[in-house]
Amino acid sequence: MKFYKLILLALVFPLVAFTGLHKYYVSLTQVDYNEKSQALQITMNVFIDDMEMAMNKTYNKSFNLFTDKEPKDSGTYFEEYLKKHFKVKLEGKEMTYKYIGRKYEGDVVYFYLEIEHVPDVKTIEIENTTLMEFFDLQKNLVKLKVKGKFDSLMLTKDNAKGVLNF
Amino acid sequence: MKKTFFIMFSFLLALGTMAQENDKSKYQGHTDQNKFKQMKDLLPTPNEQRTASGAPGHQYTQQKVDYVMDIRLDEKNSQIHGDEKITYHNNSKDYLEYLWLQLDQNVRAANSKTPDINSDSFNAAFNGPQSFTKSNLEKPFEGGFNIEYVKNADGSPLSYLINQTMMRINLAKPLAPGETFDFQIKWWYNINDYFNDGGRSGYEPFPDGNKCYTIAQFFPRLCVYNNVEGWQNMQFWGRSEFALEFGDYDVKITVPSDHIMEATGELQNEKEVLTAKQRKRWEEARKTYDNPVFIVTQEEAIENEKGRATDTKTWHYKANNVRDFAFATSRKYIWDAMAVNINGHNVMAVSLYPKEGNPLWEEHSTRVVANTLEEYSKLTFDYPYSKAVSVNADRQGMEYPMICFNFGRPSADGTYSERLKHGMIGVITHEVGHNFFPMIVNSDERQWTWMDEGLNSFVETLAELDYDPNFDTGNLPKDIVRYMSGDQKFLSPIMSQGDYVHQFGPNAYTKPAAGLYMLRHTIMGEELFDYAFRTYAQRWMFKHPTPADFFRTMEDASAMDLDWFWRGWFYTTDVTDIGIKEVKQYYLTDQPTEAAKKFAEQRNFNLEGRQLVYYAEAGDNFDPKNAKKASDFPFLNEYINGLSPEEKAELKEAPSYFYQVTFEKPGGLVMPIIAEISYADGTKERKTFPAQIWRYDENEINKVFKTDKEITSIVVDPDLETADVDTTNNAWPQETQQTDFEKFKNEMKN
């Protein structure tokens, strides 16, 4: 059979009318500290189907992502949605980030976010509840690269934030 | 004496703990941990049934099971009733005390243990009225087989036992090799609403009360018996699929007379169930190769679905040498078909869909079926059956011999996104492709999901790229990076039984498909790969291959040792990460370098008065400004001039640039190194070093490049062919590589 999410969906969220095809519930966020430009550069990728469903439900609107019918101002909604679900704290202080834009590739949408004027990164806390309100099995993987060191967080509904020290 | 020795020994022991530990680690032995270690410890010993070359051996046998069935659909009560006569052929050399059958429907029985092995929690913080009712007020579905009788051929009762989804037939006396056993089973079950409750088969309800039935796993089916698993009677928990024997089917299916049906096998009574018009259209379809011909048009289907026939019709099918049987029936169906020429043999590509599937389905389904049969046939063997049917079933994607159920519905206004279209083309290609793996190359799905899903996803990828070269298949090496670079806690090796693997989709579909793509494209090359892959498919068509048979055939037919690849990619969760650690440029000089002096001193060797060409590193007491060319060394010119004309003719131009590149491999997998070298004049060159370059040192290796032109940059795996999980170390010099983030940011600015 074609393994597609609906089978899982049918078990955990039976009433979403939804068609789509992909194989697992994971988003991946890459957080890189760019020492040269003193900026925390964040790329989050999420399956378009999932994101579209979340946006349609949250804003009660048809987003038709990656089609001619996608509203011109979808970026504003993405930004608002992300600001609600993706949070970064540096040295215990919540940071605001700039929503630079989004790019579609295959069945995935990439969001580009940036926190500027970051002289150093020692303690970073990341919370990512993106899509968790709709998919119980959603896993949000966050990979960090700071000052040549790598680390990662696997965020789930029960454990949606994590702290790392560099 | 003994005592003294003992005291002394303890004393020494106490004193020398530290030293001893050092000594211990110094002499700590180890077993063969090399990445190129052969797979003798992982693969079963070859035998006369399965040879070391990966082919079936001269003693290979397999069982055969024939079914004669009378099936009745009770549409009013959504029940299915069956009378089943089974002939079991014991072709093995073993005496069988019992037979095992699969009762897959029991996964939905009230006493099914499948819900019991799933943990549950209050996932949703709230429920709407509809979902509250569904999850709290609805009575459990009364699914599962109701066995009315199990009888011998003569009508006498036959003893049996049911253990969840498995049924044992207790034979009065063991079935001898070469003997056959006839018996009969009568059964019925309530058909599930797969659309709302899940499942691979069942019905999809429509608002006007009509239903589309896509029916499979609907009759007690024999388990596989072989010398690999004995009886393959591992329980069906709902995920890991099926293991089935080949056999001949003779099936009569009775449904309301206004239904349109497709099923495994050839229709035997066209005259009784089709109108003269429909038969004429079939005749035309059998001669039409370019476009689908409608057997039932949309207008006819819309008219037909308004009625509710009370009388019935019986559709009669026969199918030889198939491992299973499935059918789809409804009064809603539109029906189209066209002929495909597979190497001179006519095959029908057929689609069945309700109007809700249009305009997408009439446009693509049958054409995708035809393309799939052509492409798969090229890569494996000529499709041997007479037809392949794609049935539109929302939220479905499931395969059976000659027929499969596929999703893909446009919005109510008939519009659809490119993604939906691609999803639908993808699922049809995939499910029709399953005719090859596992319907014909009949691997054990219960044990090894990847053997059918992975191989099929791989061929699917090639077929999709043929249908549309820009198709985003999602099965290329770059597509598996996200999964492979994830938390190791949620990864399983491909070689794991399907019921417990984490992230089933990427594990059993994408990763093996991406791995095979990499083998074909990057490691073996198309010519070697395609021959070996075709050999595997042809050796095992209509047989039961195991992973070892696949691994062995791919090596045996290609003269490539791929044990390192199978071991790494299939048996571990290791990742690819290859990078450039350092690039050193060397220059020619006639002055002894520090390194040369040290080298000479260690060997008590005097450099003075010697005519030598020294390789100097910048900074090694040497300024690159003083570098010489090969032609600047008089003694070298003299030597060359002294050579005979023939010897001179054999020489080439001396290189001008000398580099030593250190490649590092933080990842656990060994892979070829693909290096793209850019020169100062703007040209580029590719160098590929086979994976065996890592055989002595799997962490780091050096390579010398001598060139006529200055190298400005080197990039490892520039086309993302090896699933490298960290590309930040792939380029030299590093700063020339703009990050994706910065590239995107700049694009947005402009």
Find residues 8-47 of chain A whose CB sits inside 8 Å of chain B: 10-15, 19-24, 26, 28, 32, 34, 41, 43, 45
Ramachandran quadrant class, A49 (left: phi over 0; alpha: psi -120 to 50; beta: rest): alpha
Nearest CA in chain B to A151: B487
Q: Is the pLDDT of residue B514 over 60?
A: yes
Residues B23, B9: Cα–Cα separation, whole Å: 16
Of A1, A26, A101, the CB nearest to B744: A101
Collapsing DSSP states into helix, strand and coil, what is residue B382? Answer: coil
Mean pLDDT of B680-695: 97
Taking CB atoms and an 8 Å cutoff, what residues of chain A touch B430? 2
Contact B315, B255 (CB under 8 A): yes
Six-digit token string for B316: 């009669």
pLDDT of residue A14: 26
Residues B151, B153: Cα–Cα separation, whole Å: 6
The strand pairing partners of B89, in sequence order, are B64, B180
Mean pLDDT of B470-487: 89
Q: Are strands B579-589 and B657-664 parallel, antiparallel or unpaired?
A: antiparallel
- The verdict on B305 touching A (C-beta cutoff 8 Å) is no
* Separation in Å, CA of B308 to nearest CA in chain A: 28
According to the per-residue pLDDT averaged within each range, which of B250-264, B624-638, B726-740 is highest?
Answer: B250-264
pLDDT of residue A9: 33
pLDDT of residue B400: 97
Between A and B, how many residue pairs show a Cβ–Cβ distance under 8 A? 127
Give the CA count within 13 Å in the CB-facing half-sphere of B40.
3
pLDDT of residue A158: 85
Taking CB atoms within 8 Å and a gap of at least 24, the contacts of B609-616 are B611/B635, B613/B588, B614/B588, B614/B589, B614/B590, B615/B586, B615/B587, B615/B588, B615/B658, B616/B586, B616/B587, B616/B588, B616/B589, B616/B591
Place of tokens 């590739």: A105
pLDDT of residue B122: 66
Residues B700, B336: Cα–Cα separation, whole Å: 59
Instruction: Count the Cβ atoms, other than its own, within 10 Å of residue B251.
Output: 23
Collapsing DSSP states into helix, strand and coil, what is residue B56? Answer: strand
- The verdict on B174 touching A (C-beta cutoff 8 Å) is no
The band of B682, judged by pLDDT with boundaries at 50, 70 and 90, is: very high
Q: In this structure, which amino acid lies at residue B487?
A: D
Give the least confident one: A83-92, A100-109, B70-79, B177-186.
A100-109
The band of B513, judged by pLDDT with boundaries at 50, 70 and 90, is: very high
Residues B237, B499: Cα–Cα separation, whole Å: 8
- The verdict on B420 touching A (C-beta cutoff 8 Å) is yes
Contact B459, B451 (CB under 8 A): no
Residues B629, B641: Cα–Cα separation, whole Å: 17
Contact B335, B350 (CB under 8 A): yes
Q: What is the pLDDT along chain A (166 residues), one digit of tens a residue?
A: 665 443 333 333 322 222 233 446 778 899 999 998 999 999 999 989 889 989 999 999 999 998 888 999 999 999 999 999 999 999 999 999 999 999 998 788 999 999 999 999 999 999 999 999 888 778 898 989 898 888 888 898 888 999 999 9
Instruction: Tell whether omega for the bond before B469 is within 30 degrees of 0, i.e. cis.
Output: no
DSSP B592: P
Give the least confident one: A29-43, B113-127, B148-162, B247-261.
B113-127
- The verdict on B417 touching A (C-beta cutoff 8 Å) is yes
Q: How far is CA B484 from CA A31, B469, B513, in A?
A: 18, 26, 13
- The verdict on A156 touching B (C-beta cutoff 8 Å) is no
Residues B508, B300: Cα–Cα separation, whole Å: 42
Q: In this structure, which amino acid lies at residue B684?
A: K
pLDDT of residue B724: 97
Residues B277, B258: Cα–Cα separation, whole Å: 15
Of B678, B675, B648, whose CA–CA distance to B663 is shortest?
A: B675
Residues B38, B19: Cα–Cα separation, whole Å: 37
pLDDT of residue A119: 94
* Separation in Å, CA of A92 to nearest CA in chain B: 25
Contact B328, B405 (CB under 8 A): yes
Inter-chain residue contact B420 with A19, CB threshold 8 Å: yes
pLDDT of residue A20: 30
pLDDT tens-digit readout, B416-435: 888 889 889 999 999 999 99
Domain regions of chain A by residue span: 22-165
Give the least confident one: A2-6, A28-32, B195-199, B381-385.
A2-6
pLDDT of residue B422: 87
Question: In this structure, which CATH number among 2.40.30.10, 3.40.50.11890, 3.40.50.800, 3.30.2010.30 belongs to the domain B275-312+328-442?
Answer: 3.30.2010.30
Contact residues for B544 (Cβ-Cβ < 8 A; gap 6+): B62, B224, B226, B228, B243, B442, B443, B444
The band of B619, judged by pLDDT with boundaries at 50, 70 and 90, is: confident
Strand order in the sheet with B221-222: B160-163, B166-175, B96-102, B221-222
Six-digit token string for B458: 């791989």
Contact B317, B386 (CB under 8 A): no
Q: For the domain bounded by B61-114+139-245, which CATH number is listed?
A: 2.60.40
pLDDT of residue A3: 56
- The verdict on A166 touching B (C-beta cutoff 8 Å) is no
Six-digit token string for A28: 């991946």
Instruction: Count the Cβ atoms, other than its own, within 10 Å of residue B179.
Output: 13
> Which H or E run contains B67?
strand B64-74
Indicate if ipTM > 0.90.
no
Find residues 93-122 of chain B whose CB sits inside 8 Å of chain A: none
Domain regions of chain B by residue span: 35-60+443-572, 61-114+139-245, 275-312+328-442, 575-750
The band of B750, judged by pLDDT with boundaries at 50, 70 and 90, is: confident
- Give me the helices (H) in B558-692, please: 563-565, 594-602, 634-641, 645-649
Average pLDDT for chain B: 93
Mean pLDDT of B391-402: 94
Choosing among B132, B394, B395, B445, which should be mutated to test the A contact, i.e. which has the most A CBs within 10 A? Answer: B395
pLDDT of residue B505: 86
Q: In this structure, which amino acid lies at residue B112?
A: S
Instruction: Count the Cβ atoms, other than its own, within 10 Å of residue B452.
Output: 26
Q: How far is CA B534 from CA B476, B531, B642, in A?
A: 20, 5, 57
Residues B7, B13: Cα–Cα separation, whole Å: 10
Inter-chain residue contact B395 with A13, CB threshold 8 Å: no
Nearest CA in chain B to A23: B505
Report the helix count and the strand count for chain A, using DSSP H and E.
Answer: 3, 10
The band of B120, judged by pLDDT with boundaries at 50, 70 and 90, is: confident
Q: Are strands B180-190 and B327-330 parallel, antiparallel or unpaired?
A: unpaired
Place of tokens 């070996």: B532
Q: How far is CA B37 from CA A56, B32, B40, B41, B552, in A?
A: 53, 7, 9, 9, 15
Inter-chain residue contact A107 with B408, CB threshold 8 Å: no
Contact B105, B218 (CB under 8 A): yes
> Which H or E run contains A54?
helix A48-59
Report the topology of domain B35-60+443-572. Neutral Protease; domain 2 (1.10.390)
